[in-house]
Chains A and B, each alone.
Chain A
Amino acid sequence: MEPTTKTETLDIEGMTCASCASFVEKSLTRTPGVQRAMVNFATEKATIDYLPTQATPATLKQAVVNAGYGVTERAPDTSAADRQAEIDQQKALAYVKLKRRFWVATVLAIVIMPLSMLMLWPAMMARVNMQWLNYGLLVLTIPVLLYSGREFFTSAWNGFKHRAANMDTLIAVGTGAAFLYSLAATVVPGWFMRRGIMPEVYYDTTATIIALILLGKVLELRAKTQTSAAIKALMGLQAKTARVVRPDGQEVDVPIEQVQLNDLIVVRPGEKVATDGLIEEGRSAVDEAMLTGESLPVEKKTGDPVFGATLNKTGSFRFRVTKVGADTMLSQIVKLVEDSQGSRAPIQRLADKVSAIFVPTVVVIAILTFVLWFDLAPVEARLPLALVNFVAVLIIACPCALGLATPTAIMVSTGKGAEHGVLIRNAEALEKAHQVNTVLLDKTGTITRGEPAVTDFVPAEGQDAAQLLQVVAAVERQSEHPLAEAVVRYADTQQAPIIAATGFQAIEGKGAQASVNGQAVLIGNFRLLDEAGISLSSAVRRQADELLGQAKTVLYVAMNQQAVGLIGVADTVRETSAAAIKRLQGMGIEVVMMTGDNPQTAAQVAGQVGIKRYFAEVLPADKAGKVKELQAEGRIVAMVGDGINDAPALAQADIGLAMGGGTDVAMEAAGITLMRSDLQGVVTAIELSRQTIRTIKQNLFFAFIYNTLGIPIAAGLLYPFFGLLLSPMLAAGAMALSSVSVLTNSLRLRSFSPAKN
């Protein structure tokens, strides 16, 4: 792209069909100065490359308007962050309000409780006027009900109007009933006495339930903010400013929102990389842990990509911006994690079904409890007993814990995954991963690096290795062939001094030639030497055969028409592969390998990493078939791959893991994306999934057991046998505890850390 071209994105208004889009596109393309215009109907966006010398954003807009459509003025890209900040602020405010309501309820409940207890001492009863005491308690309880507990009543009422019953319905009906009964007993005690009932009041029950439930809510809100902490932390990593190099060479700090595509940005040691781009000048080591979970800094040089929010460690460099705003890697990770947190795990379906019918069912159970107690209990105690059990059933049945069980665990674990470079696409993928019993690895790029590296450097007899390497590197530095790059990388790691080569010439399909220190050097395959009329000594020939036998590619080096050495090149196994595979096997998972290589190479790599079963000579088109083959054996297969040609296999597998940030296509097809290019990520993903599902199961068990046992006890089922009744206050305490314990259990996932070898 010419450096003078600028890119503009416009939001187009009023397009109704694909032909509208092409109409707008035509109109834009005809505008002077526009080099390329692309209109996307689905997103209603136009992307235009134009020459700023001939066109301006205003003329582009005019072109759209001329075509009969409109341009929406875009709010700056910060809107998402601003919105989040606003939501956070509102949440913080709600938390403060909630705490205040909780404290008011608690203080009053602490006063109300002992006053109600006075009745238990006969000596006290004689001295205190019960009538007056009840009025006193009423006055103390009203603020609890109207200030602290008001939300329950408004919410219950709003829900009732919508034919929806929520937990607030239960609390409101329960505390409301206890309060109204007490009110009646306070105002018209004679009515009760005439019917042989002691006019007891339940102000302490009312106040305590509200205080306890608010305590539960305070703890819940506090814990809930922690479940999304990981994603907030990710968003917070974004750099705030960037140092842009102006065309005149001046460096200026600008807010990150103003950075545009193709800007040149300077990054100094210790600074954050502002956005995604390609290095144009300089080299450095960059800490990419925030994106990949890889703790070691990554070496970067000219031409390498850098990503926003990563941390520059040692050197200083300049890079050209290739992505801004929502297109950056960080934004995409955040989006993916957010999406996965909004998805539903299949395990949750039962809980979903239950909670949909739960509250009305509980109300019915509570009413029937009331009726049964009223009918069966001794006449003088039937009304209070019926009431107490009615309230207890309503309060203990609150299904918050059930609703929190799955989503909180998923939020914590997807966030945790992102922290370790494991991006989980949705809750279903997370759930599927724990069932996996077979991992199918595509060899190239997963077990191995997927790029050639020098494995053997063999000087011919009488040659000095160091000197030969210098010469070879001098030639290969000028070549762009991947094998040549491998040789240069090798020379660099050996710290071979850099010398110059002249007259470089690439020979298509064979190799290259150049002259170094006045000597003619040839590097290439056997045909290159053969055609140059250079013969190999028997020793060299034997060494070459040995390398070929190990399934390596052999480069031949000749100087002045004489063979002087061999270089063995092969795709090498990553250091971490064997350990990760061993770990998977230790988890009871069979690891299977597939590769397009010949059986010999396949056997060699498999042996090196401890894999027993492998498929060799698999054509790219047959990869998905191999997955099916394993599935036909009744296995649950996780497929790990990195290339576009892996996409069908990734989609076919029960769960696909795309590796190395992956290509977009592979990411689309994969349930899980591993940002880091090694198999350790597979271990992390499966371990995380197993732990999450275990947590969810525990949560669901807690929630279900608590409701299924709690309701009959509250209804008084144990009374005929053990004389046991559940006090509504105890029910409230237990209910507050249940959701808090479920949340705490989910938050335990935050301590997850993948097993290191």
Chain B
Amino acid sequence: MDTTEIIVTLTGLALSAFVIWYFFFSARQTASAVSTASGVQEVDITVKGGYSPDVIEVERGKPVQLSFYRDEENSCSEELLMPDFSIRRDLPAFKTTLVELLPQQAGTFTFTCGMGMLRGSLVVK
């Protein structure tokens, strides 16, 4: 093995480790819902290559209103899927789309883009 090979190997392994840590193990952005006077839990979510925040905490039994603002035109994020609530919604680019639901059971429910690549979760307490 020459020096270049050693450098390439080490760099490759380091990069792989970084990819695994970065995508699977690093900390996520969590946000709790804000309850309005009328008892609706409201959360603003920006869609741009992902959902931020992507972990949303809400309380059980109270209506939830999620405002998705899609800040890009890329096709991957054009659909929003919340299978546990039977919701499939188109998110127009540079517009806010409201999604309303009533979580009746505690648990963690994933929401994804149409192809399941972008992910976020709704944590019902």
Contact = CB atoms under 8 A, between A and B. Distances in A.
Interface of A: 13-17, 42, 44, 86-87, 90-91, 94, 151, 154-168, 217, 221, 338-344, 351-352, 355-357, 359-360, 363-364, 367-368, 370-371, 374-375, 379, 399-400, 402-404, 407, 426
B5 A375 contact: yes
Contacts of A42: 63, 102
A159 B118 contact: yes
B92 A162 contact: no
Chain B at the A interface: mostly helix, strand, loop or mixed?
Answer: mixed
B114 A407 contact: yes
Nearest to B6: A375
Contact of A166 (B84, B89, B117): B117
Contacts of B86: 339-340, 342-343, 426
A151 B63 contact: no
A370 B12 contact: yes
Given A163-B23, A356-B116, A368-B16, A158 B52 contact: no
B124 interface: no
A165 B114 CA distance: 14
Interface centre among B12, B13, B51, B92 (most CB of A within 10 A): B12
Given A16-B37, A339-B86, A342-B83, A359 B54 contact: no
A158 B38 contact: no
Interface in B60-83: 63, 72-76, 81-83
Nearest to A407: B114
Nearest to B93: A90
Given A162-B52, A375-B8, A342 B87 contact: yes
B116 A164 contact: no
Contacts of A340: 86
Given A167-B117, A399-B115, 13 more contacts: A90-B92, A154-B74, A155-B49, A159-B49, A162-B54, A163-B22, A164-B119, A165-B117, A342-B83, A356-B119, A357-B24, A360-B19, A375-B8
9 contacts: A151-B73, A154-B74, A161-B49, A164-B23, A166-B113, A217-B75, A359-B117, A360-B23, A371-B9
B124 to A, nearest CB: 17
B39 A16 contact: yes
B3 to A, nearest CB: 12
A151 B52 contact: no
Nearest to B85: A342
A352 B116 CA distance: 6
B20 A360 contact: yes
A404 to B, nearest CB: 7
A158 B117 CA distance: 13
B39 A403 contact: no
Contacts of B84: 344
B26 interface: yes
